[in-house]
Amino acid sequence: MTEMTQTPVPNGKPSAKEKESKKEELLGSTLSFHDINYEVKVKVKRKDVTKTILNNITGVFQPGMNAIMGPTGSGKTSLLDILARRKDPRGVSGTVLVDGAKQPANFKCISGYVVQDDVVMGTLTVRENLAFSAALRLQGNFSHSERAERVEDVITELGLSDCGNTRVGTEFIRGVSGGERKRTNIGMELITKPSVLFLDEPTTGLDAATASVVMLLLSRLSKRGRTTIFSIHQPRFSIYRLFDTLHLLDKGTTVYHGPTEGALNFFESIGYQCEEHNNPPDFFLDVINGYLNSSLKSLGPAAEENGDCEKGTQVILTEMDNGLSANPSLAELFKASTGHETMTSDAGVIHLSHKNGEDDAIVQDIQYATSFPVQMKYVSKRTIINFIRSPQLAIFQPLSMIFLSLILGVIFWQLDLSLNSGIQNRVGAFLFVTMNMVFGNMSAIEAFIQERVIFVHETASGFYRVSTFFISKIFCDLLPMRILPTALFALITYWMLGLKATAGSFFIYLLNLIMTTFTACSLSFAISSTVTLQSVATLLVSLCYVVMLVFSGLLVNIASLPSWLQWIQYLSLFRYSLNALSVNELVGLEFCGMIGNSTICMSGESYLDGQGINYSTWGLWQNEFALGIMCLCFLLLTYIKLRLIPKYK
């Protein structure tokens, strides 16, 4: 698995390193797998049942185009993931060897894996996405110019020169075509020049012409020495003829493994004739799915005696065990064939040399090519670019805050100090303010859900640490997206409402709104890192907010509730926010009104006493501290959940 060369830069001067290795090719690896089994636990009528996904799978993939094919549910992706060391090891048994040696612990980081779904940042250009991969996955001994050259090499190699500076595209941004997007995904993995490249359904979502272009590209790459292994469902013939080795699966068992050109001969030998002009992959799947019948009613001795075998069948019958059942399965027929004998012989030689060899030189589990500061630099840079280029995030959030602040200011314009409305309107305004800070920032739910697939793939491939992604989200997404809109909201509402005209009171008001926003967003982060569907996350977050609102102490008297429910008040961010706002504003104010012919006055402190709110200096700041503690707890929970996400893709 040694990198032998770098491709020279077409439009620039090659480096000395490139000149020396200009004529050499990439040395691909031989990947062999021996008796691979994979079982999972499933629920059947509320009982745990073991389901076999793969059953005794053996084979050898050498440099070239290696296809894993079969109908839906046959185990294609499971086998691909096991070979790439990206499957949960629970339930997996067997041996996978790379060049006759045990897979290194960091195999995920030194091989390439292109997932079925797109895992590129849509707001970045093709070149920026590739540069991001180069910055984080190439070792530190690469200079900046060498990284840039590597990016240009890949762009040229993949035919992406015309769209190199075009954004990949999102639901809001028109970007590159589907084929160009898929090639960009492949380019992200080619940056490290891996000797083994895995692809999961590389033609999914592409039209026939675009799929052919992508597969022709992979074929060209494999001819330079790379070992390309991919799962594919039902390719057209122009794609099928590019395959060097074919592994056919049926319900987790092998029904053929060998040279692609030998597959039709094998099926013909067991009585399945592919009609002229029929696409071989379609023919194979029809046979596997049972849509075609063999011309041989029985492959046992009786068939041979009765002369029911077609021309050419006598030869394979003599090579088969006489112990075959009267109606053997395709897997049994393959096991009795010379193709299976050749496959097991080739795999056995590799496995035997591995067992008889010296102890494997296991590569240390080096997961990251770059240091934490370098990772922070580039991940944060990408996060900021993504924020700036997302109009729904960068523009809509501040505009919505300004709009809501103006509505609030008009409704509660210049609050008076009357006994009848002064306190009530202030408390109502504070409730409106707090609800806006909480519900107005529910867009934070999207932070980890939208990028979940990218995060899982990139951390599994050794781009960066989980902590890098988490911290960059906090400092480059949470802070700019939430602080600026909240500050605008505070500036507008504070003076329109006519609250205390002192600098100290204003800054406490601003601090409270920011702390409320951070706590609400942190709760959204914690839930969005736990679930995968935005609709479910929105429902759970809304449910939490409603419960917190009920126990804020404003809508219901907490003392009137059963004692076993009263503790929930300490988990209510509404309670802490409303208490802090009330103390900050009402202490020192006096509200007067006429009752009959008498003027009655009540201090803000009297109201706070009646509500059981501590209005001392410590009483004010303990609410802010409580919000801060809640925020930190939710963020810690978010980080833990991100760490616990299985990272096998």
Over residues 520-555, the pLDDT tens digits come to: 999 999 999 988 888 899 999 999 999 999 888 888
Q: Which domains does the chain have, with CATH numbers?
A: 16-111+194-350 (3.40.50.300), 372-644 (no CATH)
pLDDT, mean over the chain: 84
Identify which has the larger pLDDT, 480 or 358.
Answer: 480
Cβ-based burial of 493 (10 A; exposed 0-12, middle 13-18, buried ≥19): buried
> Are the C-beta atoms of 437 and 573 separated by less than 8 Å?
no
**Taking Cα atoms as reference points, which of 457, 566, 437, 451 lies closest to residue 513?**
437
d(CA 542, CA 535): 11
CB 342 within 8 A of CB 321: no
Cα 28 from Cα 62, distance rounded (Å): 8
Integer distance in angstroms from the first to the last C-alpha of the chain? 21
Of 621 and 311, the structure prediction assigns the larger pLDDT to: 621
Mean pLDDT of 407-414: 90
pLDDT at 125 over 90: yes
| DSSP 8-state class, residue 363 | P
- If we measure between CA atoms, which residue out of 434, 417, 430 comes closest to residue 604? 417
Two structure tokens written together for 99: 């060049």
Higher pLDDT, 626 or 172: 626
Burial annotation 189-200 (CB, 10 A radius, 16+ → b, else e): bbbbbbbbbbbb
* Residue 298, pLDDT above cutoff 60: no
Residue 585, φ and ψ in degrees, nearest 5: -95, -40
Structure tokens at 66: 């290696």
| Distance in angstroms (rounded) separating the CA atoms of residues 190 and 111 | 9
CA distance 604 to 330: 85
Rounded to whole angstroms, what are the CA distances from 596 to 190, 424, 593, 599, 602?
A: 85, 20, 10, 8, 16
SS3 284: helix
CA distance linking residue 57 with residue 619, whole number of Å: 68
- Please answer whether residues 387 and 483 qualify as being in contact, where contact means their C-beta atoms are separated by less than 8 angstroms: no
Q: What is the DSSP letter of 418?
A: B
pLDDT digits (tens, 9 = 90+) for 306-358: 444 344 444 444 444 445 556 788 998 999 899 899 999 998 888 888 766 55
> In the prediction, which pLDDT does 326 show?
61
Whole-number Å distance between alpha carbons of 308 and 38: 39
- pLDDT, residue 390, reads 79
Could you give the angle at the alpha carbon of 603 between the alpha carbons of 598 and 609, nearest 5°? 125
**pLDDT single digits (tens) 28-70:** 789 999 999 999 888 777 788 888 999 999 999 999 999 999 9
Q: Span 147-162, mean pLDDT?
A: 91
Split at pLDDT 50, 70, 90, the class of 602 is confident
Hey, is 158 helix, strand or coil?
coil
Task: State the greatest distance between any 2 C-alpha atoms of the chain, in Å, as a whole number.
Answer: 122
Taking 70 as the threshold, does the pLDDT of residue 471 lie above it? yes
Are 108 and 84 a contacting pair, CB within 8 Å?
Answer: yes
List the beta strands (DSSP E) in 154-297: 196-200, 227-232, 245-250, 253-259
